[in-house]
Structure 1
Amino acid sequence: MASTFFGLNIGSSALGSFQAAVNTTANNIANLKTTGYCRQTANLQSTAALRVAARYGSMGTGVQVVSIKQERDLYYDSKYWEANSSKGLYEQKLYYLNQIEDYFKDDTTQKGFTTIFNKMFNGLDTLKTKAGDETVRNQFINQSQQLCTYFNALSTSLTEMQEDVNEEIKSTTENINAIGQKIATLNREINNIEIRGAYANELRDQRANLLDELSKIVDVQTVETEIQNKNGENLGGTNFKVLINDQTLVDGDDYRTITYVARDQAVNKTDANGLYDLVWADTGMSFAQANSNSSGSLKALFEIRDGNNNDNLKGTVADTSTNNKLVLKNTSVQNLNALNVPESGQLTLNGKKYSYNGWSATLDADGKITEMEFNLTAESELTDDQLANAIGNTASDGVSYDSKGIVYYQQQMNEFLRNFAEMFNSIEKDGQTLDGEPMGTFFQGETTTGTLYNFNGAYVDSEGKYVSATTNADGSITKNPVTKVTSDMDSYYKLTTANIRVNNKSLTDPKYFATTTDITKGTDAYDLVEKLKSLQSDVTMFRGDKASSFLETLLSDVTVDVDKTKTFYNNYNNLASSVDTHRTSISGVDEDEEAMNLIKFQNAYNLAAKTISVMAEMYDKLINETGVV
């Protein structure tokens, strides 16, 4: 049978249990404003019954606190991480797209392309009436240089932004590595506590906060499994695994790191130097930043830095390829002026990168690219097996990003300038200067080393034919048809927003500009001016629209992107807030609820104390008064 003093034990267990419940409630109240704190609950359970030699068979023995655990719903955690990743993606993109939009503005606060371009062509109108006036000529030439300076400055701004984004990719990668290391350390500490039967609630809070932070950077998934022995018995600890972009970052107390590697070769024609690629330090495999299922601010940084609107060069490897040459047919880019591959770079084929140090493009009668041949470096030559497996597969220059970033806008500007300068120069080359000399190239390209491009190696002449130009001893020009253009040829491929300029001869001597094909007609002859003027409204200049609408077309791209990104950001921001509200309703500390718990557990504690008082009176009666006469 039960001990005579059994009731005291029951009351004592109640006092201890309700004291623990009050302490847990007090801890919740103390952490009411603590960021990331998860509400804790003392879980009470009746103790094992005691068998007694009586008709009722057994008696309850009291109560005990079996655990103090967090009130957390993993479903809402995962939904929050998902929404937070998308929020991070669009928040980061919006920040940089707003800057790009500002670069293209043309209003009262900032002179842009349309203002400068129209001013230049207004100068042509004046030149029609005073073609021989050197002052008017000089004014037009300087207005033309202003257009070049505008694009030079725009290119510099975008390149500097690309470098800034690149540095942010580096710091973000370091942050991911630091978070991964902290989570692995916490996993070890949590298991050290929980394998002994306790619950590491505060450490789990720290880990959850790190996961919240990580989810804004990359897509996050977690898997937690019980650690068991060979008999399938739980040992008390768990194995906590963190995946980012479907790749393992943390596995228990082991973690992986991501390394940023500076490119030794450019991927795009106008890329800044030393852009980083991300690889896993342990395997050297590429980090899947362009994964279509990924999200987060890191992906946004790559989409801004490398975004090409899926316009990177792609082509089918032809059977005319050899071990040291890759020949691509059916290329995605068929216009030479739209080509954005560097002179030397890398092609990706069957998941492997192959370096090349030059290329050539074969043109048809209409000047369209029919095939491209890339000269592979000695280190990248194909084996016979690799060559056999390559035929018919797709090779590409860099990664395709379904977004419009810096690479896209640089390429669009390059294409416009190449088209415009080529058509302008072709008209000029048919003319004569005021001194009666053959006019050369008006718009040139100049590299940082001072190399000048006159584009005589390959260009479309005024008759629409691809030709090269050779200057004869008497100053006349001989044109030769061109069917193949190479990367080292002096073609308009060499022209970019960064290097365009007006011929220095024209800047120093306004007579060096052609307004007529025959100066014997008089210095005021302007037959070429009429042709130059028509370029302003030429609908073949850029994406089926006239040259003067270039800015509107490009600004439309970025404005649509900004509006779309802003909408997505607001949607995911609201979704993340909504999910977090649901999450907080479960795991957050509510003042009213905790106040009620205090009163509830205080009353229970008082009743337990009253029970012991009653028991004490009964024992006093039993011990001191029973049997006394």
Structure 2
Amino acid sequence: MANGFGTLFIGVSGLQSSQNALNTTANNLANVDTTGYVRQQVLFTDRNYVTFNETTAVSKQQSGLGVYIGDVIHSRDVFLDRSYRTESGRQAFYAATYEATNEVETYFQEMEGQAFQDALEDFWTSFQELYKTPDDSVSQNLVVQKAQLFVSRANAVYSGLQSYQYNINTQISDNIDQVNKLGDTIQDLNLQIMKVEAGGIETAMTLRDARDQALDELSALVDISYNETADGIVKVSIEGTEFIDESRCYHIEKKTDKLTGFITPYWGYLSDVNKGKYVNVFDFGSRDISTENKNDMGELKALVLARGDHIANYTDIEGLDQDTYNDTTGMSVMLRAEAQLDQMIHGIVTALNDVLCPNVTAEDTIKNLTNGAATTLDVILADGSTVTLNANTKILDADNCATGSDKQLPPQELFSRIGTERYTKATYTYQPVDENGNPKVDANGNPVTETKEIYIYNEEDPNDTTKQYTLQSLSVNEALVIDETLLPHLCQNGDVDYALAAKLAGVWDEERLTLNPNDTKACSFKDYYKDMIGEMATYGNVYNSTATSLTGTVASVDNQRQQVIGVSSDEELTYMIKYQNAYNAASRFINVVNEMIEHLLTQLG
């Protein structure tokens, strides 16, 4: 009789276990489309056995007490998770970089419905017309008009690139906020999970699902590494620096540049802001960004890299060696685009100005004025101050330059720097010599003096944009806008300077520019633009193909993950039928035992 009643416990355990298994299966089905949900699997285990005979070696006459749910498995594969997060971070890096490259191509290829190249071609054509009739005011006016259009279109493209830089800057700010938000979420979930699982009885599955989902999102934004402690806390590092530990989340702070407004992410808890010492989140100087170095991960890094840390111009290419260029300008999509565009504009502008207003070094002038007795020359400026010329000082080639219709020196340059004149006028008073080399005197024997006007070229200053022929401070000479006939076109004897017009037309075909230090092939201005677009398209294709390939890799790894963590409605329905049948079988088992006991009590008693 005792064994009969004990058998009821076996049936009850079957009912309870089947019911709990049905509940777990129903929960899986209810969350089949829930993002981040990980399926739960039931594991059954035997209850304790009662042993009736301890002496026998063959049969100990054990009687089981049924089954119970030993565990509900939270199905995850840590290796697939790490692989997914790594590839997701790389895909996000190259996708963001490609988006920036694609945007640059859009600005270069099309501007307000008309290709920027058209303005370049029209400007070139205007000089072909000037070559035919240099003294025709119509041709001169065409040059000035096309120069204005060229500068306007170039500035529009350049401004568009800057505008997109600030767009990226906004994305960087948003990404930093999102990283910090996800960090706070993970930290909060860490504490909740630790509380739930502290007793060693319950697994906080829903909370773990939410935390894993947050880690997935975080891995797309930044390069993370993480590990879980024995008490269920996940510690996270970003770029090798601790982000989340057992007690808190260390937020990424924003340092805003006062000049540009660009935001740089830095670690507040490692920096000393009062002393101006910042520990940046990203160190681009230590290692090249590459797959081999395993540091090409995270959208935030891609955005910071693509934007750059300033607004670039031709000085970010000119004079740099290959290694320096690759470690600075060449790393950034926006800096590279801005610098190459400005280099082209700078090259065109300075080449044309140097033809219209030719310069020479002051070496011969110093020798002539001092009869070879000195290597330097002190000249007087208009304000009375003195400046010393040396042999390498650039001055206007006043003896060989052309003039405009006013026949005045210095001649007018076509392009001007806002705030800086091309020349500073200086004078030098000296005593000329006669054909015998003796100082000249007048009829009374008094020394004869003459004054020489010297026009000192105001050199470009790499540290001051107002002294550079850059799009940031460039305009068409206002004097020529008012009177186009002031454009140099006459020899100093009054003849039309056809040689000057030929030089201006020939400037466009001279191979004087290289795209960057990595490309040593010299090209003309007309070819430079095509090469610039071609290089940008090549970069874009590489980034796009890499991002596309990684998208497939991420999808492949995620498919493998879903086979482990995903909920299959067909599979869960199969389990539901199995557990329902088990529940029904346990129910029938209890009924049969109940009838047997009732029969024993009523019929045989």
Indicate which of 531, 548, 568 corresponds to 1:570.
Answer: 548
Do 1:85 and 1:296's aligned partners in 2 also have CA atoms closer than 8 Å? yes
Distance 1:221 1:480, change over 3 A: closer
Q: Which amino acid aligns with 1:300?
A: A
Counterpart check, 1:297 vs 2:299: yes
Question: Hey, what does 2:154 align to over in structure 1?
Answer: 151
Q: Which amino acid aligns with 2:315?
A: L
Matches within 5 A, 1:302-451: 302-306=304-308, 338-340=314-316, 400=328, 403-429=331-357, 430-438=401-409, 439-446=411-418
Q: Which amino acid aligns with 1:99?
A: E
Do 1:289 and 1:298's aligned partners in 2 also have CA atoms closer than 8 Å? no
CA positional deviation for 1:369: 9.1
Indicate which of 526, 534, 537 corresponds to 2:509.
Answer: 537
Do 2:307 and 2:332's aligned partners in 1 also have CA atoms closer than 8 Å? no
Do 1:515 and 1:525's aligned partners in 2 also have CA atoms closer than 8 Å? yes
Give the Cα separation in 1 of the matches to 2:319 and 2:596.
107
1:217-273: CA deviations, max 9, x gaps?
1123321121xxxxxxxxxx32211222222222235211000111235xxxxxxx1
Do 2:315 and 2:462's aligned partners in 1 also have CA atoms closer than 8 Å? no
CA positional deviation for 1:519: 5.0
1:497-556: CA deviations, max 9, x gaps?
2322111001111121112443511xx432211111111011113431101112111111
Give the Cα separation in 2 of the matches to 1:413 and 1:486.
17
Do 2:131 and 2:505's aligned partners in 1 also have CA atoms closer than 8 Å? no
Counterpart check, 1:118 vs 2:121: yes
1:320-346: CA deviations, max 9, x gaps?
xxxxxxxxxxxxxxxxx95239xxxxx
Question: Hey, what does 2:102 align to over in structure 1?
Answer: 98
Do 1:46 and 1:63's aligned partners in 2 also have CA atoms closer than 8 Å? yes
SS, match of residue 520 in structure 1 = coil
Count residues with an aligned counterpart. 512
Indicate which of 198, 201, 210 corresponds to 1:206.
Answer: 210
Do 1:505 and 1:512's aligned partners in 2 also have CA atoms closer than 8 Å? yes
Worse-superposed segment, 570-579 or 64-73: 64-73
Indicate which of 244, 249, 264 corresponds to 2:243.
Answer: 249
Distance 1:551 1:618, change over 3 A: same
1:25-47: CA deviations, max 9, x gaps?
01111111112111111221111
Per residue, is there more strand in 1 or in 2? 1
Question: Hey, what does 1:51 align to over in structure 2?
Answer: 51
Question: Hey, what does 2:592 align to over in structure 1?
Answer: 614
Distance 1:623 1:455, change over 3 A: farther
Indicate which of 562, 565, 583 corresponds to 1:587.
Answer: 565
Give the Cα separation in 2 of the matches to 1:102 and 1:489.
27
Do 1:434 and 1:511's aligned partners in 2 also have CA atoms closer than 8 Å? yes
- State TM-score, norm by structure 1: 0.76
Do 2:104 and 2:337's aligned partners in 1 also have CA atoms closer than 8 Å? no
Give the Cα separation in 2 of the matches to 1:486 and 1:202.
59
Structure of greater Rg: 2
Give the Cα separation in 1 of the matches to 2:203 and 2:319.
69
Q: Which amino acid aligns with 1:495?
A: Y
Question: Hey, what does 2:175 align to over in structure 1?
Answer: 172
Unaligned runs of 5+ in 1: 227-236, 266-272, 313-336, 342-366, 371-393, 447-451, 457-468
Distance 1:519 1:495, change over 3 A: same
SS, match of residue 222 in structure 1 = strand
Give the Cα separation in 2 of the matches to 1:18 and 1:489.
79
Give the Cα separation in 2 of the matches to 1:487 and 1:222.
44
SS, match of residue 282 in structure 1 = helix
Q: Which amino acid aligns with 2:245?
A: D
Do 1:250 and 1:256's aligned partners in 2 also have CA atoms closer than 8 Å? yes
Distance 1:602 1:570, change over 3 A: same
Do 2:402 and 2:497's aligned partners in 1 also have CA atoms closer than 8 Å? no
Indicate which of 486, 497, 519 corresponds to 1:525.
Answer: 497
Question: Hey, what does 1:454 align to over in structure 2?
Answer: 421
Do 1:289 and 1:302's aligned partners in 2 also have CA atoms closer than 8 Å? no
Question: Hey, what does 1:348 align to over in structure 2?
Answer: none
Do 1:155 and 1:497's aligned partners in 2 also have CA atoms closer than 8 Å? yes
CA positional deviation for 1:18: 0.9
Question: Hey, what does 1:361 align to over in structure 2?
Answer: none
CA positional deviation for 1:3: 5.0
Do 2:226 and 2:234's aligned partners in 1 also have CA atoms closer than 8 Å? yes
Distance 1:517 1:63, change over 3 A: farther
Per residue, is there more helix in 1 or in 2? 2
SS, match of residue 76 in structure 2 = coil
Question: Hey, what does 2:292 align to over in structure 1?
Answer: none
Distance 1:480 1:495, change over 3 A: closer
CA positional deviation for 1:399: 7.0
- State TM-score, norm by structure 2: 0.78
Q: Which amino acid aligns with 1:579?
A: V
Give the Cα separation in 1 of the matches to 2:24 and 2:489.
90
Give the Cα separation in 1 of the matches to 2:197 and 2:69.
16
Distance 1:149 1:519, change over 3 A: farther
1:434-468: CA deviations, max 9, x gaps?
1211213321122xxxxx22344xxxxxxxxxxxx
Give the Cα separation in 2 of the matches to 1:51 and 1:146.
101
1:590-616: CA deviations, max 9, x gaps?
111111101111111122112212221
Question: Hey, what does 2:86 align to over in structure 1?
Answer: 82
Unaligned runs of 5+ in 2: 272-278, 290-294, 358-400, 429-450, 516-521
Worse-superposed segment, 168-177 or 273-282: 273-282
Give the Cα separation in 2 of the matches to 1:121 and 1:435.
26
1:474-516: CA deviations, max 9, x gaps?
995445898x96745975xx22223221110011111211124
Question: Hey, what does 1:504 align to over in structure 2?
Answer: 478
1:344-396: CA deviations, max 9, x gaps?
xxxxxxxxxxxxxxxxxxxxxxx9799xxxxxxxxxxxxxxxxxxxxxxx9x8
Do 2:255 and 2:264's aligned partners in 1 also have CA atoms closer than 8 Å? yes
Distance 1:2 1:472, change over 3 A: farther
Q: Which amino acid aligns with 2:478?
A: N
CA positional deviation for 1:48: 2.2
SS, match of residue 279 in structure 1 = strand
Give the Cα separation in 1 of the matches to 2:532 and 2:320.
25
Q: Which amino acid aligns with 1:288?
A: F
Worse-superposed segment, 611-620 or 22-31: 611-620
Give the Cα separation in 1 of the matches to 2:209 and 2:531.
50
Give the Cα separation in 2 of the matches to 1:547 and 1:128.
18
Give the Cα separation in 1 of the matches to 2:169 and 2:482.
40
Counterpart check, 1:5 vs 2:8: no
SS, match of residue 444 in structure 1 = strand
Distance 1:554 1:2, change over 3 A: farther
Give the Cα separation in 1 of the matches to 2:5 and 2:206.
39
Do 1:28 and 1:39's aligned partners in 2 also have CA atoms closer than 8 Å? yes
Distance 1:75 1:519, change over 3 A: farther
Indicate which of 504, 515, 529 corresponds to 1:551.
Answer: 529
Aligned-pair RMSD on alpha carbons? 3.0
Indicate which of 272, 281, 284 corresponds to 1:287.
Answer: 281
Taking only the aligned residue pairs, the percentage that are identical comes to 23
SS, match of residue 299 in structure 1 = helix
Do 1:70 and 1:201's aligned partners in 2 also have CA atoms closer than 8 Å? yes
